[in-house]
Structure formats: structure tokens, C-alpha cells
Amino acid sequence: MTTALIAESGATKTEWRLLVDGKLTLSVRGTGFNPNVMTPDHIDQEMGKVYREHFRNLEPQSLFFYGAGIGGASQEAIMRRVLSSYWPETDIRVKNDLTAAARSTMRPEGIVCIIGTGSNSCHHRDHEVVARRGGHGYLFGDEGSGMDLGRHLVMGLLQEAFPPVIQRFVESQEGLSVYELKLAILRDTQPNVRMARLAKHLGELLHHESIREMILGRFSAFLETTVCMYPGFDALHVDVMGSIGWHFQDLFREAAEERSVQVGRFLKDPINDLVTFHQHLLTAQQDQ
């Protein structure tokens, strides 16, 4: 019997899937892990909750962990160390979320974008990342992400760039004045997540031209700093993963068309396609 545990983690949630002999037997949703904005102790604390509730008696042969914020060896080591403390006998492989996105497309080559709480992109070939753009975090990038849209929503309200009706709507939904909302974000332990949560209001405000133009502008900024920087980008399909890309795909397509970007598929969550990739991989290994 072969057992493989697959984890696809973003800033706000982690999707866990267990494959037994290639068949999906368990699906779990837990908290997100990001070693760029969470301390190792915090990651371990949250991982412990998920382990005790769902995985206490599980010792998979392999664990494939794909996560946001894993941009180098140091972040990879943090996640590997935490995971190894719970599964010391398991073959653990830690990859970034871009690799998960690339593999979930099933394409032999292309560009994939992640536009959720944060934003990122990569050029991939043969199911591996060959170049990447973006993903510099909420202080230095993440254009077009939920965080970025939430930040520009608050900025516009503070600067009175939007009609008063938009301010009244946001304040009624949040139960805070714009000034109080600004303070709440500044005091939050995860301000990027707090700002990203504000993006949920934008769907109700799309009939306002100023909101539509703001979102379109932030997607344009994302494309200009990421996708359009890859040599030959206009010859490759660009697939989009993540909740923000999914909910505002019409505006993303509009921004893309202006830049000769060939948009492929939109996926709200790549986990199901990622599981399919690993099922195919397992089958291929068994056939060898």
C-alpha cells in the first residue's frame, strides 16, 4: 500500500489530501502557513492543531508540501523541520506554491499566476519552475492581489478618491469608520491578510466605475511587473490560480487583452488538479 499526503498552503488556508494507492481517501482544510510572515513557533503551534485533530494516527510514506512564502532554502528548512517533527519517518518534499500551480495546469510549458491573498507568477516547463516574477510580499509587491486591492480600497477612501456611497458601504460592512479601519490594519499581526479580507466587498461595488478602474489598474500593474517581463510571453498560455483572479476574471482578461497576453484557465483553487497530477505521477512510477 502506498500513501501520499499532499498539502497546498496559502496565506490563509491549507488544503490537505491523502492518497492511498492513488485513490483520494481524506480531504482536510486547515490554517495557512507562510514562513515569511509567521514565526517557526507559530507555524508549529498551528500545525500541531491540525495534526492532533486529523492526522494523529497517520504516517504517510511521502508528504508533498507546497506553500506560499517558500522562496529559498531558509523558508524550506523551516517547513521541513516543523513537518519532520510530526512525521519523522516520512519522505518530505517541500516546494513553493508556484510549483503547485505549474503542476496543476498539466501543460508542458506556460506561465501561471497566483492571485489570491498575495500575487506571484512563474514560467514553467516540464512541471518545474524555470523563472519567476513577483511574489515580493505585501511591502514590496503583490500587485493585483487581495491585499493590494484591499489596500487601494482603503487608500482611496482615506484620500476621498471614491464616491461617499462607497465609504458608507464599507463602513457599514466593517462596523468601523475608515480611520478606525486603518488603525485596525496597522495593529493587526497579519496586516496583509486583514487587507485581503476587504477585497470581498469589491464584488458588491463593481457597478461603480471608480472601483472597476481601480481593479483593472491593479491587474495591469501585476501584468506589467510579472507576465510581460518573460521573454516570449505572448506565445505562451497564461493560467490564473487563486480566489481574486477567479472572482474578477473578466477584468483580468480585459487587462490581459490590452497587453497581448493569452489567458488560459482560471482556477479558484488548484488542489484538485494538483491531486490529479500526483495520481498520474504515481501511476507512471508504478508502471516503470
Q: Over 60: is that where the pLDDT of 254 sits? A: yes
pLDDT of 288 > 60? The answer is no
Which pLDDT tens digit goes with each residue over 46-93?
Answer: 999 999 999 988 889 999 999 887 877 888 899 999 999 999 999 999
Q: What percent of the chain has pLDDT over 70?
A: 98
Q: Hunting for cell 472597476 — which residue is that?
A: 212
CA dist., res. 67 & res. 82, Å (int): 13
Work out the average pLDDT over 197-222. Answer: 96
Record: fold of 3-102+270-287: Nucleotidyltransferase; domain 5 (3.30.420)
Of the pLDDT bands very low, low, confident and very high (cuts 50, 70, 90), residue 122 is very high
CA–CA–CA angle 72, 186, 97 (5° rounding)? 25
The cell for 76 is 524550506
Amino acid sitting at position 92: I
Tens digits of per-residue pLDDT, 225-241? 999 999 999 999 999 99
pLDDT band at 270 (very low <50, low <70, confident <90, very high): confident
Q: What is the predicted pLDDT for the residue at 183? A: 95
